């Protein structure tokens, strides 16, 4: 897997948590971080497993720099934290911990790095929720559907039509939502909250408990966009209302989401079988973003999980500042669009689509109000665009459950033929175009029938009746100069002797499934080496004598194009072998 280019940590890098960013100089820790704690990797070799680092057993060298307590991060699906038994009977383990202390964070991290066994040592970086407006509480159900929801849900993204055409509401899919907490007993969540084997409804990645009660309204809004039921409040309806939400709380209190808690949340989602991870949160470049968060996202991707994240709301180009995890290559980064065919003026954007990949509506999107059953909340932000894509991913996987994250990404990006433009108030000197998702196009894409065709201006012929491709020059080097496939791709399976007669052109659907095989025919070539020479007369003579040969070889032998293989054809091929005759490839 190729990874998106990373901005160096030795440039001006910043975590935006409030409206006032700051700039860190070279060699300093970047970002806004939590006072009194550091994240570190610690490798120990001990005689007894009970001697490994824990709150009751803090080694002297850690205590001497002020570490008073520790918490181990459960990250076994991301890093190898298993206990190894050595030949002398001792035990070795590399674990990841948060150390707590009174004192300067950067100084403590630098001291940690000098201790034997410590690898990574970094501040615990704060992340932000990517909703920018004060939530609006709305209470008039039916009229509000037309005001807040219909424009994107029905008119723009075509979601109800997709439900009907594909007979799915996201059944059987699990979406892990990493956010600031959830009201899991809310009536709108009935039957839509995932439970573990013990009946727990979610996971707290800070306390390692099942208490996911909300610190803000953000998580309920986001989860409602994915799986709202349109039950008690007509105006609220999720993109995939029969999907399951795996609630993962990653905040200790309001505005306190950290990279380590998000990493623990991702580890939990991997361990418990999530199909999709939706993160409406972000940070800029920071030490633990690359050393912890990036490996976590990669581990989820490698486990077959679709990972989505918001591009954030700084009105900035990716060429100026990147936001993570959206900018990681293994993550689909989501921008926010409005009602006017443009990105919202707050949305970050990427003209190259290398870091942020897709746009979805993000203006005044309704979600669950955790404190009321008679009203809903309306938020704006890339936070709201991201769960729309997560809900569409749930619809997609309910139809194509065996598809990989890469297959979903390909279907999403290639099917998004609708577009929005850059916001004219943000980008004033040019206009950029970004793909906008469409539910019907997305769900149709893998099953669209591919078509193999000859490129204009070439002599190539695609013979659909006989499944042959001919009119190609002898000793050609690449079929790309002659043919192409719409709504799919192809792979070439050569013969034992080369890419001549009998070479298979296997046409694949958008999902990568085999659709149809064609065979290359080079007239006069019977041994598959893509040229007519003396060796080809043997098989042609055999065919003239009535011997059974593959249809492609029989067709290749008919070099005088009279629809009959006879001695005249054999004679032409023989003379071609001694350069006294010529076989045309244009039939």
| Residues involved in catalysis | 179, 218, 383
d(CA 136, CA 235): 14
> Cα angle at 382 between 139 and 380, to 5 degrees?
25
d(CA 522, CA 455): 17
The residue with greater pLDDT, 23 or 231, is 231
> What secondary structure does DSSP assign to 113-180, as a single string?
HTSTTEEEEEEEEB-EE---SPPEEE--HHHHIIIIIHIIIIIIT-HHHHHHHHT-S-TT-EEEEEES
- What is the pLDDT confidence band of residue 288, given thresholds at 50, 70 and 90? confident
pLDDT at res. 332: 98
Closest CA to 265 of 312, 310, 307: 307
Can you read off the two tokens belonging to residue 106?
Answer: 């950067």
Q: Which region, left, alpha or beta, applies to residue 563 given φ > 0 means left and ψ of -120 to 50 means alpha?
A: left
d(CA 221, CA 310): 15
Neighbours of 546 (CB within 10 A): 7
Contact status, residue 325 vs residue 294, Cβ threshold 8 Å:
yes
> Cα angle at 100 between 96 and 106, to 5 degrees?
85
Q: Given a cut of 70, is residue 135 above it in pLDDT?
A: no
Query: 422-472 pLDDT, tens per residue?
Result: 999 999 999 999 999 999 999 999 988 999 999 999 999 999 999 999 999
Mean pLDDT across 324-347? 97
- What is the pLDDT confidence band of residue 415, given thresholds at 50, 70 and 90? very high
pLDDT at res. 524: 95
Can you read off the two tokens belonging to residue 358?
Answer: 């897709």
d(CA 66, CA 103): 8
Mean pLDDT across 352-380? 91
d(CA 289, CA 258): 10
Closest CA to 334 of 185, 225, 173, 196: 225
Neighbours of 58 (CB within 10 A): 15
pLDDT at res. 376: 83
DSSP state of 189: G
Q: Given a cut of 80, is residue 172 above it in pLDDT?
A: yes
d(CA 16, CA 132): 12
Can you read off the two tokens belonging to residue 318?
Answer: 């990716």
Burial classification of residue 178, based on how many CB atoms lie within 10 Å of its CB (0-12 exposed, 13-18 middle, 19 or more buried) = buried
pTM: 0.82
Which has the minimum average pLDDT: 222-236, 358-372, 489-503, 547-561? 222-236
* CATH numbers and ranges of domains, the chain: 33-125 (3.30.70), 129-447 (3.40.50.200), 451-577 (1.10.1330.10)
Closest CA to 244 of 179, 169, 180, 186: 169
d(CA 242, CA 192): 7
pLDDT at res. 22: 27
d(CA 76, CA 7): 28
pLDDT at res. 317: 97
Neighbours of 197 (CB within 10 A): 6
What average pLDDT does the structure give for the chain?
Answer: 90
Query: 482-522 pLDDT, tens per residue?
Result: 999 998 899 999 999 999 999 999 999 887 889 999 999 99
Secondary structure class of 56 (helix, strand, coil): coil
Burial classification of residue 396, based on how many CB atoms lie within 10 Å of its CB (0-12 exposed, 13-18 middle, 19 or more buried) = buried
| Torsion sign over Cα 265, 267, 273, 279 | positive
């Amino acid at each position: 897997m190729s990874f998106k280019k990373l901005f160096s940590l030795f440039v001006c890098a910043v975590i935006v948590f409030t409206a006032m960013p700051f700039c860190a100089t070279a060699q300093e820790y970047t970002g806004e971080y939590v006072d009194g704690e550091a994240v570190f990797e610690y490798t120990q070799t001990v005689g007894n497993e009970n001697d490994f680092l824990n709150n009751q057993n803090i080694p002297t060298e850690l205590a001497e720099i002020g570490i008073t307590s520790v918490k181990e991060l459960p990250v076994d699906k991301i890093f190898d934290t298993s206990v190894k038994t050595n030949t002398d009977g001792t035990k070795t383990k590399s674990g990841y911990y948060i150390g707590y202390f009174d004192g300067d964070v950067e100084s403590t991290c630098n001291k940690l790095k000098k201790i034997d066994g410590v690898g990574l040592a970094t501040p615990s970086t704060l992340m932000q929720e990517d909703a920018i407006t004060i939530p609006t509480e709305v209470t008039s159900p039916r009229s509000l559907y037309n005001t807040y929801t219909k424009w994107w849900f029905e008119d723009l993204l075509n979601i109800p039509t997709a439900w009907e055409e594909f007979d799915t509401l996201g059944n059987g899919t699990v979406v892990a939502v990493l956010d600031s907490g959830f009201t899991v007993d809310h009536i709108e969540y009935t039957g839509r909250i995932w439970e573990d084997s013990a009946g727990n409804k979610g996971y707290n990645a800070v306390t390692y408990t099942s208490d996911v009660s909300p610190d803000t309204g953000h998580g309920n809004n986001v989860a409602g966009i994915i799986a709202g039921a349109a039950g008690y409040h007509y105006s609220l309806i999720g993109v995939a209302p029969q999907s399951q939400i795996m609630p993962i709380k990653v905040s200790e209190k309001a505005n306190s989401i950290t990279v380590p808690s998000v990493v623990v949340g991702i580890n939990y989602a991997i361990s418990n079988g999530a199909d999709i991870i939706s993160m409406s949160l972000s940070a800029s470049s920071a030490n633990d973003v690359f050393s912890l968060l990036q490996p976590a996202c990669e581990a989820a991707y490698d486990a077959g999980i679709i990972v989505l994240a918001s591009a954030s709301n700084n009105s900035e180009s990716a060429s100026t500042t990147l936001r993570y995890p959206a900018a990681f290559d293994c993550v689909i980064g989501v921008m926010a669009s409005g009602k006017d065919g443009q990105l919202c003026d707050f949305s970050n954007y990427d003209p190259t689509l290398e870091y942020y990949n897709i746009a979805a509506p993000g203006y005044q999107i309704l979600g669950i109000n955790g404190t009321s059953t008679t009203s809903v909340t309306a938020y704006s932000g890339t936070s709201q665009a991201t769960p729309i894509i997560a809900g569409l991913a749930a619809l997609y996987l309910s139809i194509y459950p065996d598809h990989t994250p890469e297959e979903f990404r390909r279907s999403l990006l290639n099917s998004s033929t609708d577009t929005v433009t850059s916001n004219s108030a943000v980008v004033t000197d040019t206009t950029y175009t970004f793909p906008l998702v469409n539910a019907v196009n997305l769900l149709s894409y893998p099953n669209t029938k591919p078509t193999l065709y000859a490129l204009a201006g070439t002599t190539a012929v695609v013979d659909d009746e006989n499944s042959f491709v001919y009119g190609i020059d002898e000793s050609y080097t690449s079929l790309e100069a002659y043919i192409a496939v719409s709504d799919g791709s192809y792979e070439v399976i050569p013969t034992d002797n080369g890419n001549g007669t009998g070479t298979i052109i296997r046409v694949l659907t958008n999902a990568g499934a085999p659709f149809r095989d064609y065979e290359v025919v080079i007239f006069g070539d019977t041994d598959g080496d893509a040229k007519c020479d003396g060796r080809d007369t043997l098989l042609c003579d055999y065919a003239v004598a009535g011997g059974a040969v593959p249809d492609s070889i029989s067709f290749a032998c008919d070099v005088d194009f009279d629809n009959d293989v006879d001695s005249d054809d054999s004679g032409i091929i023989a003379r071609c072998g001694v350069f006294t005759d010529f076989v045309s490839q244009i039939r």
